[in-house]
Chain A
């Protein structure tokens, strides 16, 4: 039955495109090695990490309709947890990673408990304010680099996997991406996900049906924070570097752009969005630099109008361009 399900999924353009994409991502280190394009692997790694963050944002933004404008804060919480533990002699990933994820989840619960009582613009501003709060705390931590950030040593896993090896690290990120996708696909159609999605459609109705909506949203926010923290851990390990810039409001905005561009409330939308975002960044910059040296800095002048076009003509994002959804 599972196999039958998968073969029907493969017959749709969406299913086929997704399958090809996942296979390409799975073998990316082999391709970049074969064509000797190491730099592409580092872009690929960032795409995969940002996809995990975007999927976690999509859980509350896409499925829950909660426009959180501070999601990059979890990059920061996850990254700084790794960096601070590492600087204090605790370099074991077995300890660092659970602590970092727990810290991100806890912080998400705090933000959620205070922000989920508001809605609309207030919710956006409060989530932003909490992210900025952590940003300035990070910038004030002189012992951990302050504004300049801090070089850190990568997490150690008792020799099981060496995160300094680019290909190994990429594959670890890819496996975690697959796990995140799997969880999201289950969550979206489980009882919990339907409550969150119902509340996006009409939260008053859901309360009148007997759902304590606030509680469910708070748990969704916490889960999203935990996965966000995971992406922060990976981001810190990718560059062996943490800095407040990881969690600036610009990064939060980029995450929203990625989710909206890819397709809110769709499983693979955030992945498409992350690919499009980084590919455009990497191609527009040199293209503009061809026109005039230095123009590449302003790639967003071209990127911005593209977003407007997507907002106007492809409201379901890239995902909607792949045809009708079947479930």
Chain B
């Protein structure tokens, strides 16, 4: 059995009386895609926010890359190789697409207490950034302002930024949200191509995408992981069909 890259141990997060994360223990192994599905309000984004360090869990531990990261701040986790894309597109709108990715590269190139040299002429940042943009199919839009990109292009840019630091684990929070069919298909192909080289925790509503991509699926309902298994097992699980796939299966 391979040592998991990411592991949560009985994670609990409460908001007042609401238990948003209820004793969740999941893991992601190197190179696999683990999908997290569940109805709206199931606590998927809350869980991801604890993994990245946005939110502090009330109880439980988070282990990443062999370390207990439960109390590490967000930027320190990113340094260890954990990257995230956001559910709501969060690119830096006033910067060009290339600037966005170059900043992501810069975040992994030592400290940024450099005050004089022009960072926009620094090939150590620009060359890998251009490569990442080409990887996600945005090379032609390198000089466009991020705010001028279409919604789908902004999602591609998000992925390019997340990949810039060569992370071992990608947390993808609804990467297909708001994308057209064609863009979704292209992104699915891209993620499938990436599989094996990077582990991914994928939160997605598009079930087609989930069942095509995922090695394992965990179903979250009211903060609890009610089932976990291969896509085929999840499809066949009666609890899941009742709780979540309900109307689709009927």
Contact = CB atoms under 8 A, between A and B. Distances in A.
Best-surrounded residue of B79, B95, B164, B165 (most CB of chain A within 10 A): B95
B106 interface: yes
Interface string A180-199: 00010011011111110110
Contact of B114 (A191, A209, A210): A191
Q: Which range holds the interface residue count of chain B?
A: 35 or more
B169 interface: no
A191 B105 CA distance: 11
A130 B88 CA distance: 37
B112 A192 contact: yes
B118 interface: yes
Contacts of B76: 212
Interface string B135-173: 000000000000000000000000001001100000000
Contact of A209 (B78, B95, B99): B78
A216 interface: yes
Contacts of B52: 208
B15 interface: no
Given A198-B95, A202-B92, A209 B116 contact: no
A195 B112 CA distance: 8
A209 B112 contact: no
Interface in A152-211: 183, 186-187, 189-195, 197-198, 201-202, 204-211
B92 to A, nearest CB: 4
Contact of B93 (A183, A187, A201): A201
A104 to B, nearest CB: 18
Contact of B116 (A186, A197, A198, A202): A186
B90 interface: yes
A76 to B, nearest CB: 26
Contacts of A187: 115-116
A134 interface: no
Q: Which range holds the interface residue count of chain A?
A: 20 to 34
A209 B120 contact: no
A213 B53 CA distance: 14
Contacts of B115: 183, 186-187, 190, 192-193
B133 interface: no
A248 B120 CA distance: 40
Given A198-B103, A202-B90, A208 B74 contact: yes
Nearest to A216: B112
Contact of A189 (B92, B112, B119, B161): B119
Contacts of B75: 207, 210-213
B104 interface: yes
Given A194-B103, A202-B92, A209 B161 contact: yes
A185 to B, nearest CB: 10
A198 B113 contact: no
A211 B79 CA distance: 9
A198 to B, nearest CB: 5
Contacts of A212: 73, 75-76
B123 interface: no
Interface in A133-160: none
Contacts of A208: 52, 74, 78, 83-84, 86, 90
Contacts of B84: 208
A207 B107 CA distance: 9
B91 interface: yes
A92 interface: no
A55 to B, nearest CB: 15
B94 interface: yes
Given A210-B75, A211-B112, A190 B94 contact: no
Contact of B120 (A189, A202, A205, A211): A189
Interface in B63-102: 73-76, 78-79, 83-84, 86, 90-95, 99
12 contacts: A190-B116, A190-B117, A191-B119, A191-B122, A202-B91, A205-B90, A208-B52, A208-B83, A208-B86, A209-B103, A210-B107, A216-B113
